[in-house]
Structure 1
Amino acid sequence: MTDTSGDGRELGRRPTLVIVDDSDEVRSIVRAVLESSGLFEVVGEGADGAEAIAHAYRLQPDLLLLDTSMPTMDGLEALPAILTLSPQTRVVIYTGFEERGLADRAREYGAADFIEKSIPIRDLPDRLWRVVGGTEPAPSSPPSRSALRVVGDADQHAPHVAAEQQVLDEHLERFREVFEQAAIGMATLTLNGSVVRANNALAAMMDCDAVELVGVDYGVLMRGHGDLLDDGLASVVELGRDLVSFEHPLPVGSDPGTVRVTLAPVRDSKAQPLYVFAQVEDISAQRRAEDELRRSEERFRLLVTAVRDYAIFMLDPSGHVMSWNAGARRIKQYTARDIIGQHFRVFYPPEDQAALHPEHNLEVALREGSYAEEGWRVRRDGTRFWASVVITAVHDATGRHIGFTKVTRDQTEQQQATEQRAHLLAVTAHELRSPAAAIDGAASLLAEGWDRLDDARRTRLLGAISASAHRLHRLATDLSTAARLQSDTLALEREDVSLARLLSSAVERAQAADPSVDVDVAADDVTFSGDPARLGQAIDNLLDNAVRHGRTPVAVSGTATDGRVRISVHDAGGGVTDELARRLFERFAAGSDGGTGLGLYLVREIARRHGGEASYEDPATFVIDLPS
């Protein structure tokens, strides 16, 4: 038949289609569903943008289903070349990113449609048919039994699916809140560095709207330092590193600032990177302060005796201390009488002294004019602190070398904050991976073998999905609350709270997540003023801590006496060491053996926002004390 339809496709011929996605599993499932529908002829597959271009040129397909985040070349990069080499091909972006800006950018580049991978897979053939067939309904061609095993007989189990989807949707919404409200810049990048999502803090640094960053290669924002991004992505994608950091100047302003970028991959259940999360922190103030100190010897002379935030002093050409300021005394704990005349190597740890690191620093400063580094230094009492150090060679008017100026700043808190952020990124990625893998595995077993599973096995698998989704929901809640505490935007919504109902609800949630949990609950029948959602979150964290790190049975009690409400959670375990007990409620203190280290910190902060306090009592008892 030679007649053609309105879109140029020959009548009686199935549209040809190419699938491009870096996931073998995704390509296999999509191909099975599309071929089983009887609507399309799949003529090729590819794993990245370069293969998509080659297939478009060689096969000239009617449709090309194109992923966004892929190695070598991502989908948005390849899209213009595909349409140039095969103008009649209709390209449909098929992506896991749900971002309005990304969809708009894809259509600007010529995409015929933008489909999110979150849609039911069985709806995909009809959605693609509308792309090539206009508004005509798809011919009736039900999927084969093998395809049904892929998409699942989900209708009869819709209540379970809907409930789990609601939990996952809430988790996604809370993650978006954390992302958008963060005070530092954040972006999600494809494996090749294209921005698919950016928050307002990053847009403010770049002097634009967040939507304008979508689809932009982050490397073009780095003012000629794009090779740093390429090296960082290669370390993450090819070498498997979990964290990579680098710095670059901002692309705006005649005197641009500097930002530090930290890259962390988000991986699938097989540890393969899906995309890259970027944290962008403006460090301009720190860099400009150090540059100003190096530039201005006169300002140094004026401030040297009064400045308390910096240790500023002079060394003779061989490294002996010649002068001492108030900041040096505060930071290093030596008086001028104690230290003047001693060699400055006493400020370095023994291992650095043995390696002649102090002498090396002076050699470099003399040769290069100055030397800067960050590292551990030692106070007079033997304690260590993280120092930012600048050593500058000083010459007189004739050019004769007369000594060195040394500027030291205590950066311990900043270093700890950086380590905590890196720790949170790494631990959160780990905490997300386990429940995500559990959901993926259980869902696959249900989808592929529902008819072969007995009711008990199905119930266990659905329970595993529910428990993992509950864990994701709690993680997102804790991250959102921590972000609000950090930005001081956490507000309480007070109302009358039934103590008995508050505790029984928390126990019900714990047992819904894990029916095997053995919890006894006893509470006085009293009512007090508080935020039930935040208090419930605190009790959930204490129960989770008892189940994960203690031993059952767990007992929860609530009593009211003398105008106070006391809530305690006790487990049968041996408790914690005295050293850990002193810092249990500090942020990240309890995260070394699993978890983010935020749970107990949030318990304490929620209690304090209510005018109360959280504490630990030996053995293995956590207490929240509140005013009633």
Structure 2
Amino acid sequence: MSAEPEPKPLRVVIVDDTADLRELLRLALVRGGMRVVGEAGDGRAGIEAVRIGRPDVILLDLSMPVMDGLEALPHIRALAPHARIIVLSGFGATQMAERALEVGADGYLQKGASLGRILDHIRDIVEGRSINPAPRTGNRPEGWDEQQHGFGAVNHVPGQRDPMPEEPARWDALALAPFGIIEVSAERPYRIVRLNPAAQKLVEVHPLYPGTPLQDVAPELATTIAENRLRGDIEFEATSGAEPVQVTLRHSGSSLVIYLRAITDEVGKLRSAIATTAHEIRGPVAVLCAVAETLTDAEEGDLDAAQQARLMSSVARQSRMLDSITADLLTAAQIQRGTLRVEPHNLDPVALMETLVQDRYPGSVTVDVADSRQVIADPLRLEQMIGNLLSNAHKYGRPPIVLRTRPCDSHPEQLCIDVEDDGVGVPEQFRAQLFREFSRASGTVAAGTGLGLHVVRTLAEAQGGSVSYADAPGGGSVFTLTLPAVTRS
């Protein structure tokens, strides 16, 4: 009898914007007997990698630049209808992962899971032994009517304003909530199903009736929800009535529930900053844990010298990212207390820039030197400022990214350092708030601590310089840092 043929190894494509994490996943997959046939750092490139690689399994990050995982997922499913798609969700993004299940994913894993667990999960999904639970719809209270999208039926005739129906007892508790709650239909024009008094006060339109399109009473809020509703449960800032509000959008069956909280108070801003900072820290920590696991589990000969060197480079990069986050938090605290100190002296900015790019962004940032003068600056603070601007370009812009020194046209005694990207630029209505503490543009998914640009502005001014924003000539953003230059003798 002939021996049974060896089963072919699973073919895997990895789509994640963190190169260090892709490296660790690749090592773990190969060690687990699988074959990595493609990698990509954004959804659009991921679609192409799937088209070329024809994989059995796709590991798909959800939060990526250019095109995120949710947007790319239907295209990937069409290209690989029989492949297993497992999404990788960030810290606290379970609801977003569940949204991915609804639109075609086969399972999900939260980033930070052990590499061994990831391998086991892939095998379970492929062999049909285990899948993630179906998207949760929550425990529906008595009287919930899915077809009517919420608590009780709201039969609205277009053009007719119906009186607010009698409030069911289960809504009474929500009526007392100190934050606003609006339930709307899940599709445009997002007709109001019901809302509590706090929401009525924040929207500042009286009276409100069931069936009213949200666009009629809170147009900015409705537009922002339309832009983000497919991203799962998210938080963002918007204007409702006369004041800014923190908005949390949650999917509930066939409706959307909007939570509104005024953010004029500093405590509210602090809470938001803590939440987003925790999310930022989670990514580097996940990579560091995976490196430790890889090195601990590796047997002699598993890793060659080049692989070990790359792992150590990953540790260094992710540690610097954590250091950058904590540096911004510390600097913000020093600014608040009035204890910020800088120690400027003559230094070569080009050497600092080249080292910074090589350490953190090798191959993804071009250094262009049009002015080689020294500047008068604190070297640690200059590294922090340029690092924040480059981080901002990577999060919100698109390549190519250029870091440039040039003479300042209107101030020859200063040197300008530009960070230019090819993204969509900063919305006109947000530019006045761009460098404020904890500011984020309305309609964007929260990312970062909200401190980076504020820290850049404060540090620049403390050293006799400034920072500004302009549209790039061909589209995109240009952030310009100006500093006193050393006069050539």
Q: TM-score, normalised by structure 1?
A: 0.34
Q: Which has the higher helix share?
A: 1
- Greater Rg by CA: 1
